[in-house]
Amino acid sequence: MGSSSYRICVCFTRKFKVAEVEPPADVKEAFRKYSDGGTHMNPEQLRRFLVEEQAENDVTVADAEAIAQQILQKRHHHLAKFTRHNHLTLEDFFHFLFAVDLNPPIHSKVHQDMNAPLSHYFIFTGHNSYLTGNQLTSDCSDVPIIKALKKGVRVIELDIWPNSSKDDVHVLHGRTVTAPVELIKCLRSIKEHAFEASPYPVVITLEDHLPADLQAKVAQMLTKTFGDMLFHPDPESNCLKEFPSPEELKYRVIISTKPPKEYLQAKTFDDKQSSQREKDSDEDVWGKEPSSLTADEENDKSFNGKGDNNQDDESDDESDLKPQQAPVYKSLIAIHAGKPKGGLVEALRVDPDKVRRLSLSEQALEKAAETHGMDVVRFTQKNILRVYPKGTRFNSSNYKPLIGWMHGAQMVAFNMQGYGRSLWLMQGMFRSNGGCGYVKKPDFLMKMGPHGQVFNPRDKLPVKKTLKVKVYMGDGWHLDFKQTHFDMYSPPDFYTRVGISGVPADTVMKKTKTKEDKWTPVWEEEFTFPLTVPELALLRIEVHEYDMSEKDDFAGQNCLPVSELRPGIHAVPLCNQKGEQYPSVRLLMRFEFV
Residues comprising the chain, all counted? 594
Active-site choice (87, 95, 120, 127): 127
Which entry of 95, 120, 173, 209 is annotated as an active-site residue?
Answer: 173
Pair 207, 158: CB distance under 8 Å: yes
Cα gap 218→208, rounded to integer Å: 10
* 267, 272, 274, 279 alpha-carbon torsion, rounded to 10°: 140
CA distance 308 to 361: 7
Q: What angle do helix axes 143-150 and 183-193 make, rounded to 10 degrees?
A: 20
Percentage helix, strand, coil for the chain under 3-state DSSP, each rounded to 5 = 30, 20, 45
Q: Which of 367, 416, 362 is nearest to 385 (CA)?
A: 362
Cβ atoms of 477 and 585 within 8 Å: the answer is: yes
Report d(CA 150, CA 550) in Å as an integer.
Answer: 36
Cα(566)–Cα(592) distance, integer angstroms: 9
What stretches of 77-165 show up as alpha helix (H) in DSSP? 90-97, 143-150
CA atoms within 13 A on the CB side of 482: 7
Output 135-139 pairs: Cβ under 8 A, ≥24 positions apart.
135/173, 135/176, 135/178, 135/393, 135/394, 135/395, 135/396, 135/415, 136/173, 136/176, 136/177, 136/178, 136/394, 137/176, 137/177, 137/178, 138/178, 138/396, 139/178, 139/179, 139/181
Q: Beta partners for 541?
A: 498, 558
Q: Are strands 538-545 and 553-561 parallel, antiparallel or unpaired?
A: antiparallel
Check if 111 is active-site.
no
Rounded to whole angstroms, the Cα distance separating 278 from 353 reads 24
Q: Is 193 designated active site? A: no
Residues 6+ apart with CB under 8 A from 24: 472, 473, 522, 524, 588
- Reported as half-sphere exposure (CB side, CA atoms, 13 A), residue 423 has a value of 21
Q: Which residue type occupies 140?
A: C
Alpha-carbon distance 126 to 243, whole Å? Answer: 20
Alpha carbon of 141 to those of 7, 158, 196: distances in Å? Answer: 49, 11, 19
d(CA 183, CA 198): 23
Q: Give the residue from 545, 439, 458 showing the smallest Cα distance to 496.
A: 545
Active site residues: 127, 173
